[in-house]
Amino acid sequence: MKLFRLCYRKIIDIQSRKAWDKMVFDDTHLEFYMQAQRMDPDGKYSTFQELSDNVPGADQLHYLASTAAVAYIRQLKDVVPDIANAYGKLCLPFKNFRFEIVESHITDKMKHKIAIWFYSDPLTWIDTVNNQLLVAYGDQREAFRNGKEVETDMISLSPFLSISHITSIAVPNFQSVC
């Protein structure tokens, strides 16, 4: 058994259809627009990439635009969006996230694209069944060693969901053949 964390990269752009996604999209674009004007008062640059390449400190735009998303992220009540268990219930707890501007344009909102990286709380990896991870929430390794019953869940592997951290792996000793 291994202790691990999952990371889900949620992409939000003009194609996003859920109400929450649309609100995050609109508010982060507005914040990007205002912050970009502050950083480039002469309006020389129109895109996030141009600002990043030419304006010192433009890398702060990720953080500055993220402030518009924080209240929406709090609405999630520490549960990763879009990732459901075998019963279709959102199930993956998180405490940490990272915000990224993938691309954006000051006046062409259709080019605004962001990603929010959600990092799950620790999970105990019990097994993989087809395309689903059999997990227990938190560090349950000691409970298993002691023969205790542990509540489990099945989480489907899906696009943009990946293992981001893992512990308790026995690393084999490899010998060089040279």
Element of type H or E holding 154: strand 153-156
Decide if 141 is inside a domain.
yes
Count of structural domains, the chain: 1
Decide if 175 is inside a domain.
no
Decide if 32 is inside a domain.
yes
- Which residue from 69, 97, 101, 107 is spatially nearest to 6, judged by alpha carbons? 97
* Domain hosting residue 29, numbered range: 2-167
Decide if 104 is inside a domain.
yes
| 12-58 confidence digits (pLDDT tens) | 999 999 999 999 999 999 999 999 999 999 999 999 999 999 999 99
Decide if 71 is inside a domain.
yes
List the beta strands (DSSP E) in 82-130: 94-103, 113-120, 123-129
| 45-103 confidence digits (pLDDT tens) | 999 999 999 999 999 999 999 999 999 999 999 999 999 999 999 999 999 999 999 99
**What number of other Cβ atoms are within 10 A of residue 53's Cβ?**
10
Decide if 176 is inside a domain.
no
Decide if 133 is inside a domain.
yes
Decide if 174 is inside a domain.
no
